Amino acid sequence: MTVQKKKFPPRPRSKSARIEQAVAVNEALTRYYPDARCELDYRTPLELLVATVLSAQTTDVRVNSVTPELFDRYPTALDYAEADREEMEDILRPLGFFRAKAKSLIGMGQALTERYDGEVPADQKKLIGLPGVGRKTANVVLGNAFGIPGITVDTHVGRLARRLGWSRNEDPVKVEADIAELLPEEEWTMACHRLIFHGRRICHSRKPACEVCPIADLCPSYPLT
């Protein structure tokens, strides 16, 4: 059986040319999405951490529909640690995978209480050590709650990175490293917000709206997609 190799769009051969293209894309998206931001509603690092954990395999809109009640019921890490699981599951039920998510939040609350006096650590390694927290979640929290630059590779960022020729990898960690080589560190967090906005609004997975895309002239996948 012959395994067909995945096709990638052509891209500039030199690294300097790829950097120039990536910077131009980011600048264009900055103008097009001046309001780009994290679309999860939160007020504190703990709320953002919780909301990001809950956002796995569901939409930000749906997460935002349940977090007001959740945040009111559990304002501190200790409240999560001591939560009644069935009560929490009832709140999370609209999200799907609510049992697993309740388990993660309770475990996360216990870990924060025991290890960090109930405070969310501004450290990637410590965040990843919490139940239910992976590298993507850690980077969301660091970039948005603490102002520490991070590259969040969700499905949108990964897809656009490949279409734009920034990466030829499927592994999010490798995509993150590829993007880090092309954009200045101070742009990482906001660049990802812009890519996510663009992926949700124009550069869709199945049928990208290339005819109205503000960066079509910079995209090596246009008009191939």
Predicted pLDDT of residue 7: 60
15, 16, 25, 108, 161 from 181: Cα distances, Å: 9, 10, 15, 32, 12
Residues 186-197 pLDDT 10s: 999 999 999 999
Placement of tokens 């999200």 in the chain: 95
The answer to whether the pTM exceeds 0.85 is: yes
Q: Which two tokens stand for residue 135?
A: 């590298």
DSSP character string of 12-39:
-SSHHHHHHHHHHHHHHHHHH-TT----
Predicted pLDDT of residue 27: 98
Predicted pLDDT of residue 14: 86
Closest by Cα among 210, 205, 207 to 221 = 210
Residues 205-224 pLDDT 10s: 999 999 999 999 999 998 75
Residues 4-25 pLDDT 10s: 445 666 666 688 999 999 999 9
Query: Residues 54, 66: contact at Cβ < 8 Å?
Result: yes
Q: How many CA atoms lie within 13 A of 114 on its CB side?
A: 11
Is a pLDDT exceeding 60 seen at residue 104?
Answer: yes
Residues 15-54 pLDDT 10s: 899 999 999 999 999 999 999 999 999 999 999 999 999 9
Enzyme catalytic residues: 136, 154
Reduce the secondary structure of 156-167 to three states and give it as a string: HHHHHHHHCCCC
Average pLDDT estimate for 178-202:
97
Give the whole-angstrom CA distance, residue 97 versus residue 188.
30
Average pLDDT estimate for 142-150:
97
State what percent of residues in the chain have pLDDT above 70. 93
Predicted pLDDT of residue 223: 76
Q: Which two tokens stand for residue 36?
A: 């780009």
144 — pLDDT class (breaks 50, 70, 90): very high
Predicted pLDDT of residue 4: 46
Is a pLDDT exceeding 50 seen at residue 3?
Answer: no
